[in-house]
Every structure is written in structure tokens, then in C-alpha cells.
Structure 1
Amino acid sequence: MMMGGETTHRTPNASQETYIKYETVKGYFLQDDDKTDSSKFNFKTSNFGLINRSYETDSSLDPTQAKTQWQRFANHVELLNTKSAGNVQYKVLFMGRHGQGWHNVAETKYGTPAWDCYWSKLDGADGIVWDDAALTDVGKKQAEEVCEFWRTHLPEQGGGIPPPESYYVSPLTRAIQTAEITFGKLGIATFKPVVKELLREAIGVHTCDRRRPASYIREMFPSYTLEADFAEMDPLWTEDYREPRSARKVRMTELLDDIFANDENTFISFTSHSGAIGSLLEALSHRKFGLETGGAIPVLVKAEIVNGERKQPTIEPSETAPSCTVNPTQTASLASL
């Protein structure tokens, strides 16, 4: 975290003989507790899942001034960084899933088997366009609800949640729209979002996961910065190779390495996708935790530079779309009845 213009911790920067080991520090959020049911959990009614507890660092606070749970947590994380060894740092990642997109509507309409084997490879059908899917009105409302949650929980409103100091966004339209609706109207001075290529959803086959040209993003979202070397045309998407989960975990680990080595801020926002967030959680050794559209999850992360070479997982074959066992156009006709 930046305090008075100076950083309060050192940023690990792994060499070729070392790597960054990521660990979820448990005991701070309900979401990292195995007893918490993700299908029933609502972060907006549970203070983002922050557990009501005391910290050994509470004694460093002025006893004459009451502090919220989030303010005491932020103080605790700051002191963790201050007292940590030079090869260790802590960050709090707020990971938000985009609101409902038109691809979500289409998958529900046709059913997942027909969607995976046929419809997902089209740009759209039946008056619906899901190529680099945009948000539906429902998706926009979901993002607005998250915006209101942030608004009422920021320090100015007495909630004490530290606003993110850095904002990273997937290059897919629905994620950028979600970030803009969620944070753009809050007047947060640090809201200077950066579009990161690696933060996107599983790559390939599904047209909803093929991004638009860089020039389109610049024109439609001029306040967003594209990371260095961001290509004009999508360099990753292919029509015949669907990125498997093991490869997605490697990609998300590469993203984490980039951010932890180059961003000295402590509270960081990711606006992304269900698959991408699932792989981020896996890379952070967090338990599986599903997010509904518009959902979000915070994680306290310990990053430590260790000697040796990171063990890479075996990459499974491409998750190529399965063959249809039924006529997908017939399935669509039945679904409309």
C-alpha cells in the first residue's frame, strides 16, 4: 500500500533461479472456509465475507478512535507487509465476475450440450449476438448493484473498505462494461483501469471469448489503458483449439507473476470471468468457489520468492467442442416452444 508517497513493503521480483510461490492466507474471509456454500453465499450481505475477528495488530491503532472491521484488516495487512522479509509480500485481490452477457442467455436458451457443440461457434442466432458478448440489461443491473455495494462500504460512508489502488480488466467487452459500471461512477481517484490480455476467459472455439480489435477498445473505452504490446487483432483465439484448464492455470500464474513483480500496490481489482477466476483461485491455492454473474470474491494472498523452478502441470489436450448427439437446430426449436 502507498502511504504518504512511500511504499510500505518491498515487491518480490523473481529471477530465473527462483519463482514466486502464491498462497491464500486463510482465516480472514468466509469464502476460504470449506464450510461456506458458494451456491448460497452473498458477498453483498456479508461485508464481502470479511470475518469479524480481532488481529494481533489491533494494539497499534488509536484506542480512542473506533475502527471498522475493514479498517482494522487494512491496518493488519499493512503491518504484515511492513514486518515481512524482503522476499515476501501480501496483497488483497478483489476478483469480480462480469454481469450476465448475451452468451449466458444463449447457453440457457439452447442448453449446454448444444451450446458447446454447435451454437458457441457461431457469432449469434435468433436475434442474439454473442461474438465478444456484451452485457444484457440484467448484466448491467448486476454491475450497478455491485457499484452500490462499493459506494455504501467505502470509507466515506463509514464502511471502511479500502478502494482498490489498481484495476485490471479482461479485454472482452462484457468485462470492460462491468468494470466501468461498477467503479466508473464512484469517483475513485485511483480508478485508472488497465486492460490485460491474459485476464480473459478460456481461449478458443467459443466466439464469445474472441476479443475485438484494440482500436475498437480504444474508441469505445477511451479512459482504459491497453497494456504494453497489446496487439491490434486477437493473437490468442483460434477456432479449433479450446484452452484446457491446466493451460489456463499456467496463464493465470503468468499474469500473477507480472502483477506481483511490477505493481507495488496492495489492494488490487480484477474484473474477469468465471473460468479465469476459477483458475486464479487454483493458482493461489484457494478452494474452489463458484461465482454467479456479477459475483465477486476477495482473497488475501501471500507471495514468497523461493529457490528452484516452479513445477508446471501436465497440459491436457484441447477441449475441442464435442460432437453433437442431437440436432442442435431441433433443440433450439424445442427450446422456443
Structure 2
Amino acid sequence: MLVRFGSKNYRLHTFSVNRSLATLFIFTVIFLFVLMHGAMTLPMPEPGRSFHYEYETLKGYFMQSEDGTDSSKFDFIKQNFGLIDRDYETDGQNEEELGQWRRFERYARHLNKKSRKGEKIKVLFLGRHGQGWHNVAEEKYGTEAWDCYWSMLDGAEGITWSDANLTETGQNQAKEVYELWKLLLPKGIPPPETYYVSPLTRTIETADLSFKGLGLPKDKPYRPVVKELLREAIGVHTCDRRSTASHILKSFPHIHLEPHFSEPDPFWTPDYREPQSARKYRLSQFLDDIFENDDGVFLSLTSHSGAIGSVLEAVRHRTFALQTGGVIPVLLRARRVEGGRAKPPEEPSEGPPACNEPPVGLPN
């Protein structure tokens, strides 16, 4: 149909186009507002579970769980991973010939087998990565300057700390853990049935140096599984921004990425750092996942100081600081509870405001 300028049909057509453009403009503004607002809050996975677990640390089995153990002086390598020399209800005659670790394994599996419906027992070996270049940089510049300025860079002065690698010191710390496992495996320490690893480079390197090449049983090989939720506090610090999935697989072709592991980092943002309450919620979700889906009793988790701190908080364990390369075993009882896990309210970004330049009076 021919539409003439000035005609009624032309005016209706013009009104319709203008209304469409106005609607498109409004939706664009709303979309941009939502996008900008979303960049200020940490995206959090919503698994849609109708249940969660409540956790309890069973004390009296590892020295690290006891209130009288000083974490600043404790050496897990010299203390048999902290396993307490004690009797168990599953002990029989001539138990000393079995060794402490075999007796403990039998007891832990016994506890799990006799657990009530909805309850599970697991032993988690929580390992912190060895020293990374970001640890060196924070010590070099000081924590205050690191948090407000240097941590937001990819590196400086010949040091790269974005998704940091291990230093030589960090590699040696992981190798010390390897030697401890090598010493204790013939003495009966149960090898982990699953190896969970954070997706950050320093944790994968640590796990490899700690477990790769050990004389493990054929039915319990070292096959690290990368879990997104097991990572350090997310955001702002470039050392906690993971590499792409393709880069991780190219660098570590032997690892297994969990299902639906995205190519880019889906959570890291440059201007919002995950608060402690959100980190605890995330690590609690991780625990819910492995307690629900992993039938193993002895599991290895290679992660970070903040993440391990949140795990210990979630399982009602006492605060226990780990040095780089440290490992803490925990005996846990979990009870399945109907209803999803309560999500904490959104909180402001954790940490100080960004500095435009290195703080005056501090190392630079």
C-alpha cells in the first residue's frame, strides 16, 4: 500500500515506529542498569538443591582439631599428619601390628557404614598450595599496599602473579608433602579416593607435586578433578582470577574438569571482592556437592588459605592457620537436611578501596 506524507496511515506508522524505538530505548537502559549492577555483586551458582548438609567435626582424632594445639608451632610433617595415637572401638588383639593409620581407616569406615540414614562420615585432607609469586609480592610490598594497589595488577618489577605459579620454595613445600605420603603409604595411610583441586594454577601444580608418581593402588589412581567452587576468595586480586578452560587443559592435560566448567572465568570481577559470608556459603555448597555425590570416605582437597578457612568454619572446626604447603586432615560427620541452604545477604566488597597509585610511605 502506498503511504503518502501527511496521510493518516503515515502518521500511524510514524507513531508505531517511535513507540517501538522508545520501548527499545527503555529496555536497553534497564538491561544496562542490570548489567552494571550485576558487575558489582558476585555471581553465585544456584544448584537448585532442595537439601543441604549440616556438618560436625569429630574431635579426638587429629591434633589440629584439639583446642590446645598451637597452629603457629605445629608441624604436620613431623607429627604424622596430626593423627592422635589412641584406641578405637574397632580394635582387636595385636592391633599394634596393623599400625595407627590402618586402625584409624578401619574405624572411620566403620563409623560411615553404621551411620544413620542421611548421615555420612568422611576424612578430608585439606591442603593449601605452596608458596606462589603472589605470596612473594604481598610480602615485598606489604599487605596494606598489596590489598589496595599491587594485587590489582598482573605483575610488576619482573614478577607475574596473575593466576600465580609456584615459586621454587612453593615447589619444595609440595615435594615435602609428597615425601610424607611416600613414607606413610607403606605404613597404612589410606590414599585418597578422590583428588579435588581448585582451578587456579598454583593449586594444580601443588597437587601434582604432592601426589603424581606416588606408588598408589591401581584402583585409587591420582586423577585430579577441578572444581570451580573450591577456589580462593573471588574478585579484585588478579592472582585469584583463573585461566581459561582451554589454557588449563593445555597446561595440565591429565586433569579432569567438572561438568559445565566454562571457558572463561564466570565469577571474577575487577571491582568486587567476595565477602567472607559469601565465601563460606560457596564452600558449603561445594561440601554439599561432594558429600551427596562422592561415595569415598577419604578425600583430598587442594585449595587456598581463605577457602580452607571457610571449610573449617562451615564444618564447625576450630580456627587453624596453615602455612603455604600445609595440610590439615579433618574427620567429619554430615547430616542431610531437607530444604535448600540459606543464602547470606549481599554485602559490600571485602577489602579496602582501590588506590590510584602505590600508597605514600609504603614500599613501591
TM-score, normalising length: structure 2:
0.82
CA distance in 2, matches of 1:105, 1:47: 29
CA distance in 1, matches of 2:110, 2:284: 26
Contact 2:243–2:265 (CA<8 Å) still a contact in 1? yes
Look up the match of 2:26: none
Contact 2:154–2:162 (CA<8 Å) still a contact in 1? yes
Look up the match of 1:5: none
Flag the 1:17–1:294 CA change in 2: closer, same or farther, 3 A: closer
**Is 1:226 matched up with 2:257?**
yes
CA distance in 1, matches of 2:76, 2:282: 27
Question: In terms of mean alpha carbon deviation, does 90-99 or 63-72 score higher?
Answer: 63-72
Contact 1:241–1:320 (CA<8 Å) still a contact in 2? no
The structure number with the bigger radius of gyration is 2
**1:80 counterpart SS class:** helix
1:69 is aligned, of 92, 100, 103, to: 100
Deviation at 1:144, TM superposition (A): 0.5
Look up the match of 1:86: 117
CA distance in 2, matches of 1:49, 1:111: 32
Deviation at 1:318, TM superposition (A): 1.3
Map 1:232-247 onto structure 2 (within 5 A).
232-247=263-278
CA distance in 1, matches of 2:227, 2:338: 28
Look up the match of 1:281: 312
Long gaps (5+) in structure 2? 1-47
Instruction: Summarize deviations over 1:52-71 as a string: whole Å, max 9, x none.
Output: 11011113xx6477111111
Flag the 1:240–1:75 CA change in 2: closer, same or farther, 3 A: same
Runs of 4+ deviating beyond 6 Å: none
RMSD: 2.0
**Is 1:40 matched up with 2:68?**
no
Contact 2:149–2:356 (CA<8 Å) still a contact in 1? no
Map 1:246-257 onto structure 2 (within 5 A).
246-257=277-288
**Is 1:184 matched up with 2:203?**
no
Instruction: Summarize deviations over 1:25-61 as a string: whole Å, max 9, x none.
Output: 11111111111110111100111111111011113xx
Map 1:167-182 onto structure 2 (within 5 A).
167-182=195-210
Deviation at 1:16, TM superposition (A): 5.6
Look up the match of 1:196: 227
Flag the 1:49–1:315 CA change in 2: closer, same or farther, 3 A: farther
Look up the match of 2:82: 49
Instruction: Summarize deviations over 1:174-224 as a string: whole Å, max 9, x none.
Output: 000000000012142421110001100000000000000100111110000
TM-score, normalising length: structure 1:
0.89
Contact 1:169–1:272 (CA<8 Å) still a contact in 2? yes
**Is 1:121 matched up with 2:149?**
no
Deviation at 1:309, TM superposition (A): 5.2
Deviation at 1:311, TM superposition (A): 4.3
CA distance in 2, matches of 1:275, 1:65: 38
2:300 is aligned, of 269, 277, 285, to: 269
Map 1:210-225 onto structure 2 (within 5 A).
210-225=241-256
Look up the match of 2:52: 19
**1:328 counterpart SS class:** coil
User: What is the identity percentage for the equivalent residue pairs of Structure 1 and Structure 2?
Assistant: 59
Deviation at 1:321, TM superposition (A): 3.6
CA distance in 1, matches of 2:184, 2:215: 14
**Is 1:31 matched up with 2:60?**
no
Contact 1:252–1:280 (CA<8 Å) still a contact in 2? yes
Flag the 1:123–1:166 CA change in 2: closer, same or farther, 3 A: same
Deviation at 1:266, TM superposition (A): 0.6
**1:81 counterpart SS class:** helix
CA distance in 2, matches of 1:18, 1:172: 29
Long gaps (5+) in structure 1? 1-14
Deviation at 1:328, TM superposition (A): 3.3
